[in-house]
Amino acid sequence: MKQIYLDHASTTPVRAEVLEAMLPYFGGEFGNPSSIYPLGQRASDAVAEARETLANLIGAQPREVFFTSGGTEADNWALKGFAHANAAKGKHLITSAIEHHAVLHTCEALEHEGFEVTYLPVDEHGLVRPSDLKAALRPDTILVSIMFANNEIGSIQPIEELAAITHEHGAAFHTDAVQAFGHEPIDVNALGIDLLSASAHKIYAPKGVGLLYVRKGVKLANLLDGGQQERGKRATTENVPGIVGFAKAAELAAAELTPEHDRQLALRDHAIKRVLVEIPHAKLNGSWENRLANNVNFSFEFIEGEGMLLQLAARGICVSSGSACTSGSLDPSHVLLAIGLPHEIAHGSLRLTLGRDTTQEDVDFAIDSLKTTLVNLRMMSPLYEDFKRGEVDSVIERFAADGFPYTN
């Protein structure tokens, strides 16, 4: 059976060119970058070159880029490192309710240490309102952390405006850009970003490597103590093959950024339009305008998300549900609840995230399969029976009546 992978927000395959660039560093070029003989120096040069490539991609200086073990470590380091180094100035942080758990759980850890955190709400499209940030800033606010683009619903935040408001109040601005890095154009200076997290495995490079951009002059406490790697700020022997692969993937992404973005965006819109026309009782989650080019997220009424995932998986389609059920918990996703979805339809959500290899044929096969799946599941749903008899109301019809535009 053909496999159709539509879960690129979760991870991506390593590109052939990336693997090829990495291979020498698993083989003959295995040196430790801290060693002074040529084998070590060649590894050190490879890391330096990778740092420069990655810095260039976001308009940063190479000295402002630090390698980490992934997006999660970069988020932990940005928040804990900044909070610990700047606690004398204040102990208040601001983030949003729809952050990745790498940020949310880090904030909770800081709260246990005595820091205070404000979680900004988002509007029905999953966007932070700049006026809410303005109102939440306090004299003791030291850091604002708002993700560039959401991993579940793809909403892209007004980063430049949020960073400007943050700076007017003298605080620093971090963004978890894991979903945007290599997919959307990013210039840390034009946007006013002080700290930025990125991860290699979301851009066709291996898992286990990421980076934190730290603007010159921003003080961070270390997360890892040990050797003098990363100029004494992050100990442990560098993941040389991973770093080389990360840079290769970023270089390739930069070279094809606009055409690939536009190609995926056309496919995305094709998928969204097909669902809105062909599948009844469906609601697009997130903003349509301010949205990642590869993200499609819908809620469907009168079905359970797990049933949908299982039937799609049986047809070779890899997608994820909007609820956290797959990760062993029955709670609906915090992101879907934050955009105002009631539990009933947050449970019936589906995320399709497209990638470089996705074709229109793949998208059409997935939507056709989804249509069949939903008909099957609804045929077995007692709630759908009740709805047809007029005994229960449609939650999605209520959204439509309230003026939410993207429903069927």
Q: Is the CB of 72 or the CB of 321 nearer to ligand PLP?
A: 72
Shortest spacing between CB 70 and ligand PLP, in angstroms: 3
How many angstroms separate the Cα of 407 from the Cα of each of 47, 106, 288?
49, 35, 12
Q: Is the CB of 58 or the CB of 345 nearer to ligand PLP?
A: 58
Q: Is the CB of 100 or the CB of 234 nearer to ligand PLP?
A: 100
Q: Is the CB of 47 or the CB of 178 nearer to ligand PLP?
A: 178
Q: Contact at 8 Å (CB) between 145 and 181?
A: no
Shortest spacing between CB 100 and ligand PLP, in angstroms: 3
What does the alpha-carbon distance between residue 221 and residue 408 come to, in Å, rounded to a whole number? 50
Task: State phi, psi for 288 to the nearest 5 degrees.
Answer: -85, -40
Strand partners, 350: 298, 321
Residue sitting closest to ligand PLP (CB)? 71
Q: Which amino acid is at 186?
A: I
Count of CB atoms situated within 10 Å of the CB of 30? 13
What does the alpha-carbon distance between residue 288 and residue 285 come to, in Å, rounded to a whole number? 9
3-state secondary structure of 326: helix
Shortest spacing between CB 67 and ligand PLP, in angstroms: 12
Question: Catalytic: which of 109, 265, 325, 337?
Answer: 325
Q: Which amino acid is at 379?
A: M
Shortest spacing between CB 223 and ligand PLP, in angstroms: 14
Count of CB atoms situated within 10 Å of the CB of 63? 11
Residues at the interface with ligand PLP (CB under 6 A):
70-72, 100, 102, 147, 151, 176, 178-179, 199, 201-202, 210
Shortest spacing between CB 125 and ligand PLP, in angstroms: 18
DSSP 348: T
Residue 408, C-beta contacts closer than 8 angstroms, at least 6 positions apart: 275, 276, 277, 279, 280, 281, 282, 283, 396
- Closest-CA residue to 282 (of 299, 305, 297): 299
Mark whether 325 is an active-site residue: yes
Q: Is the CB of 91 or the CB of 207 nearer to ligand PLP?
A: 207
List, by residue number, the catalytic residues.
325
